Amino acid sequence: MKKISRRDFLKSIGLGTAGLTLMASPALASESHHTFTGEQLPSKIRKVKETFTVCAYCGCGCGIILYSNDKDEIIFCEGDPDHPINEGSLCSKGNGIIDVYNNVNKKKSREVNKLRITEPLYRAPGSSQWEKKSWDWVLTEVAKRVKATRDATFEEKDENGVTVNRTTAIATFGSASLDNEENYLLHKMFRSWGLLNIEHHARL
């Protein structure tokens, strides 16, 4: 048996890899420019609908493709390979995002979470019942209460006469569904109100 040096071994592997790449290139090129229709679609997406979205966890804004069946049940997700941030990759949280929508039952299969809240709910002071409200009503009510609280608690100067222009009666806690740019704009808005208690669970 002829002995081969480490250098020659690596050289032969490199030549072999280059040859396979050149052989595969025409096939890959023709496939990438092919337009699939109907039954020609790849099997994994032939019977499902694709929805492009952004991950709701951290502030990176990774692109995700959600796959749903004819009942609008999300059954699979993967990273969007055309997205400029993650280029198709997903972290463990992003991979598990469909379980925000689903529950895993005793048979180890996914089913839609029937307790998932999809509409604004409001419980009046002293009431034990939740009422469904429209988004217009909710946002208007939040704005009125924020203004009323700020007007009632705003401090122009502290006890030493120093100008502070602040209120300590309102606090915010940010959502990681917002990206860095959105958080920047919200932070400016909260500061303009005089808020001091500004926090974000991912510290963005």
- Bridge partners (DSSP) of residue 170 are none
Q: How confident is the model over 130-148, as pLDDT tens digits?
A: 999 999 999 999 999 999 9
91 Cβ partners below 8 Å, 6+ apart?
A: 57, 62
163/183 Cα distance (integer angstroms)? 27
The CATH architecture to which 42-112 belongs is 2-Layer Sandwich (3.30)
Count helices and strands (H / E) in the chain.
4, 10
- Closest by CA to 134, choosing from 148, 147, 121, 125, is 121
Which of the pair, 73 or 157, is modelled with greater confidence?
Answer: 157
Q: How confident is the model over 166-177, as pLDDT tens digits?
A: 999 999 887 766
Coarse DSSP helix, strand, coil percentages of the chain, rounded to the nearest 5 percent: 35, 25, 40
Q: How confident is the model over 58-95, as pLDDT tens digits?
A: 777 889 998 888 877 787 889 999 999 889 999 988 88
Mean pLDDT, the chain, whole residue set: 80
Measured between its terminal Cα atoms, the distance across the chain in Å is 63
Which of the pair, 37 or 142, is modelled with greater confidence?
Answer: 142
Region 3-24: mean pLDDT is: 63
Report the amino acid identity of residue 130.
Answer: W
Kindly report, as residue ranges, where domains of CATH 3.30.200.210 are found in the chain: 42-112
